[in-house]
Structure 1
Amino acid sequence: MTELSDSNIFLTYKVNKFFDPEFFDLHPYPPTFIWLDKNGKKMKEHVIRMDRKHDIYISEIEAGKGDYFFVYGQVSSRVDQANNLYGFITKYANNGDTIWTHTYRHPSYNQEDYFHYINDLIEEDNGDLTVLGSIAPIGGKNEVWVFRVNSEGCFGTDSCYQFTLGDHDVILPEPSVIKCFPNPTTGKVSLSGIPLNETYNIRIYSIDGRLIVSNKERNPSEIDLSHMNAGIYLIQITGEKANTTLKLIKI
């Protein structure tokens, strides 16, 4: 759910159309969009109709800096016996008209057994989108995927109806019990859950994939971001005993 620039509220959920005869040849659990006015009264509803070979998994909806909003997550399509899983972003006008929609896959992980998912995005002041996603083989380990596109969802090209990404950085994390706190932070954060008696590589990336800091430290207990600008950072901690990537917000 998100509040739009016109003060209306937009939300989405999946509706059960399994016994609806109109959806006999369509996906029985389609995403549904609902608009409410500022008092919570329903203004309109839109059910996305798609055939049974397709599905949409919405990660998040987010208001833009103008009279529009973004919906993003994963879209799947089944061809023969293979499932193709793409990350997607769609930009809608506040009234629900589609401004653009694109699917994304990393070229180094373009096999059909890899899923691609858009987890989060930030709209920059110039309209560019910094996007945080994930890639993994089905049933395998996630990898962090960071890229940036322009206000049309493209890499500066005249046309990008559907495309796979160029060669962009992929950060290789491994989920673990390592945590950082406080998060958000104004400066220093403490680390917990790191196995002791080991030297770790610590790398700090900006949300657009730029390496900001890289150093080695034995038994690290805190990270200092006080000299960095406010924003979202990815903290990659790697060693023989633990590998993880943490998302940290500096305020």
Structure 2
Amino acid sequence: MKEHVIRMDRKHDIYISEIEAGKGDYFFVYGQVSSRVDQANNLYGFITKYANNGDTIWTHTYRHPSYNQEDYFHYINDLIEEDNGDLTVLGSIAPIGGKNEVWVFRVNSEGCFGTDSCYQFTLGDHDVILPEPSVIKCFPNPTTGKVSLSGIPLNETYNIRIYSIDGRLIVSNKERNPSEIDLSHMNAGIYLIQITGEKANTTLKLIKI
């Protein structure tokens, strides 16, 4: 048994989607990281490759160049390691209060797009797939506390994340077949509810009064 503590500075918040074993003596951690600079909160997808002893081999953050505004979420949902070490990555992109779009890209074993140099911040100019319009809704909106969810496909576990309007992650959990969300313990304001799963991906704007 071995324990390793991963430290993040106070300017960053991190949400881990998955920890996945690689094809060698290493593993991958991926999800979303936020970077707060000069009152702005930028949300990146990230992938970090660790050696099995806990040492960092490389880490990169990813945003799509066509969706590089501050009000866009970028998130890494899944990855597949090929036999040659390349990674096929499934991500998602969503504007604040808007619908998710599926983002698919491929990087080499160093997490780069095949360039001579590879910086920590990487713009992935790869396919963005527009999904069918989301039918997931929440009501009542505005709400004083609990809201009901409709239109979520059943028999699925979803990541439920609640953000403040300035992009701060407030709540993060996993639920199977979620039917309601409780905001009664939160202050009045505007919140973003991000619902992510294999069968549905959407971001809802909710007003708490």
| Alignment TM-score, normalising by the size of structure 2 | 0.63
Q: Please give the alpha-carbon distance, in whole angstroms, between the structure 1 residues aligned to 2:202 and 2:159.
A: 11
Q: 1:162 to 1:182 in 2, by over 3 A?
A: same
1:167–1:62: structure 2 CA closer, same or farther, 3 Å change rule? same
Instruction: Output one character per residue of 1:105-134: Cα deviation in whole Å (capped at 9) or x when no partner.
Output: 000000111110000000011111000000
| 1:224-235 pair list within 5 angstroms | none
- Decide whether the 8 Å contact of 1:175 with 1:244 is kept in 2: no
Change (3 A) 1:164 1:219: closer
Q: Is the 8 A contact 1:146 1:208 kept in 2?
A: no
Query: 1:188–1:222: 8 Å Cα contact kept in structure 2?
Result: yes
Higher relative contact order (CA 8 A, sep 6+): 2
SS at match of 2:121: coil
Is the 1:61–1:72 Cα contact (8 Å) retained in structure 2? yes
1:97-246 correspondence runs (5 A): 97-174=55-132, 176=134
Provide the aligned length of Structure 1 versus Structure 2: 209
Q: How has the CA–CA distance of structure 1 residues 126 and 177 changed in structure 2, closer, same or farther, with 3 Å as cutoff?
A: same
- With structure 1 as the length reference, what TM-score do the two structures score? 0.53
Change over 3 Å in CA distance of 1:117–1:65 after alignment to 2? same
CA distance in 1, matches of 2:12, 2:6: 11
Whole-Å Cα distance in 2 between the matches of residues 229 and 127 of structure 1?
Answer: 46
Q: Please tell me whether the aligned partners of residues 41 and 167 of structure 2 are also in contact (alpha carbons under 8 angstroms).
A: no
**2: CA distance, partners of 1:246 / 1:66:** 40
Over aligned residues, Cα RMSD in angstroms? 14.1
Unaligned ranges ≥5, structure 2: none
- Percent identity, aligned pairs only, is 100
Q: Summarize deviations over 1:156-209 as a string: whole Å, max 9, x none.
A: 123212233243210011464699999999999999999999999999999999
Which structure has the greater CA radius of gyration? 1
Return the alpha-carbon distance in structure 2 between the equivalents of residues 96 and 187 of structure 1. 42
Stretches of structure 1 that go unaligned for 5 or more consecutive residues are: 1-42
Work out whether residues 96 and 192 of structure 2, in 8 Å CA contact, stay in contact via their aligned partners in 1.
no
**Alignment check: 8 A CA contact 1:142 1:174 kept:** no
Q: 1:231 to 1:104 in 2, by over 3 A?
A: farther
